[in-house]
Amino acid sequence: MYAADGQGYVDDAIDGIEADNIYVSPEVPDADALEATLAQQVGDASIGIAVLSDNALLEASGPDIVREIATAHPDCETVIVAVGDDLWAGSHALGQGEAMGIANQAEQSTDSLEAALTETVQGVIAASDAAGAGAGDDGVGGGPIIGGVLTVAVVLAAGVAVWGVRRSRRRSRGENRHAPLPDTVRPLVARLRALSGEYAAAAASGNPVAGEVSAEVSLVAENATELFDRLDRKGDEGQRATAAVEYGETLRKLTAALDRDYLLDILEHPDLWDEPGDRVREVRTALSSFSSELVENIKQVNARRGLHFQVSLDGLIGRRKELQEWDRAFERADGETGPIPRAD
């Protein structure tokens, strides 16, 4: 098995797939055995597989991981990614969304990660054989980047800016990774990355607004990480501590508004909510304002000036009873146990 060398999770996966088309993180239980099983299933098929622990979501969402691997390995017709118990897949040899559909069906019909991966590989191979070589190319703009990756194509089309501002993960060996995020922020950024993937999945069902939100959420997660990394590098512990408190508070409210019980559900089931249009606009306005503030504060750090915390989501929370109840529940849980809960 490819041995990790201190790079990021995504970098390790890219390098591991380059070696033998399959990478299983050492953090995954029985990694060697799982890699051997997958190698036997894949054979000489043009399939790249990365199996990562949940920690990988601290770096990128599932769709982003698939996209980066596909970009680095255009020779792989299909890319399958497992993060924890969740699967994502995409293929330029199949119709748009077909590989993801195979992965979803495998998840639902099996009771273990190994079984789900095996069924996904078998399904992709069978579908590719049926489709014939070169059929159903989903490439974006005719290029090698795969479409059908839990609507990676939608994320690219609706949020090209994400590519423009994100730093490449292909760093030289020995270069430092991002500094760890503060405890008040880290689980929320991880949840936002996961939510970006869930919105991308909703976009695959024909919801263009969900695709736009997916790109916006991914950008917030990336820039929040970038802000704290720059604060750490510039050695301003006072500002970093202040930002951890301020953004821990704002991010948890933003996450609640974006989570599957609120905005995501509104986009998928608008007929089940009163004033769905107003609700969507409220959350997206808050998301946009917060995203702009993050960028401005990154600029402030670069210029070695003080940070400004002007965006408050109290107005958004105060307007909607559902979010008020979530906020009160959070406060009770936080007072009892201390850690930040996931808003689901």
Mean pLDDT confidence for 166-189: 57
The answer, yes or no, to whether residue 159 has pLDDT greater than 50, is: no
* Host domain of residue 250: 178-337
Whole-number percent of the chain with pLDDT over 70 = 72
What is the per-residue pLDDT across 217-250, written as a single tens digit (0 to 9) for each? 988 988 898 888 888 887 667 888 888 888 888 8
Of 151 and 70, the one with more pLDDT? 70
pLDDT at 16: 92
Dihedral sign (CA 153, 155, 156, 157) = positive
Residue 255 Cα to chain centre, angstroms:
14
Mean pLDDT confidence for 105-121: 84
Domain presence at residue 344: no
Band of pLDDT at residue 336, cut at 50, 70 and 90: very low
Domain presence at residue 148: no
Domain presence at residue 173: no
pLDDT at 229: 87
The answer, yes or no, to whether residue 64 has pLDDT greater than 50, is: yes
Q: Are residues 107 and 183 in the same domain?
A: no
| Mean pLDDT (the chain, rounded) | 76
**Domain C-terminal end among 90, 123, 142:** 142
pLDDT at 38: 92
pLDDT at 272: 94
Domain presence at residue 270: yes
- Residue 71 near residue 45, CB atoms below 8 Å: no
What is the per-residue pLDDT across 282-313, written as a single tens digit (0 to 9) for each? 999 989 998 998 999 888 888 878 788 766 66
Per-residue CA distances from 155 to 199, 229, 288 (Å)? 9, 25, 17
**Domain C-terminal end among 142, 164, 192:** 142
Q: Are residues 227 and 332 in the same domain?
A: yes
Q: Are residues 19 and 115 in the same domain?
A: yes
Q: Over the range 278-292, which residues count as b (16 or more CB within 10 Å of their CB) and which as e? A: ebbebbbebbebbbe
> Between β-strands 86-91 and 22-24, what pairing exists: parallel, antiparallel or unpaired?
unpaired
- As a whole number of angstroms, the distance between CA 94 and CA 146 comes to 10
pLDDT at 182: 87
Mean pLDDT confidence for 171-179: 41
Q: Are residues 137 and 187 in the same domain?
A: no
Q: Are residues 201 and 315 in the same domain?
A: yes
What is the per-residue pLDDT across 255-267, written as a single tens digit (0 to 9) for each? 888 988 889 999 9
What is the per-residue pLDDT across 68-86, written as a single tens digit (0 to 9) for each? 999 999 889 999 999 988 8
pLDDT at 343: 33
- Residue 182 near residue 203, CB atoms below 8 Å: no
Mean pLDDT confidence for 35-58: 90
pLDDT at 331: 55
Domain presence at residue 320: yes
pLDDT at 57: 84
What is the per-residue pLDDT across 120-132, written as a single tens digit (0 to 9) for each? 998 888 888 766 6
Angle at 72 (CA atoms; ends 68, 76), nearest 5 degrees: 100
Q: Quick one: which of 25, 9, 10 has its CA closest to 1?
A: 25
Band of pLDDT at residue 177, cut at 50, 70 and 90: very low
The answer, yes or no, to whether residue 135 has pLDDT greater than 50, is: no
The answer, yes or no, to whether residue 341 has pLDDT greater than 60, is: no
pLDDT at 306: 77
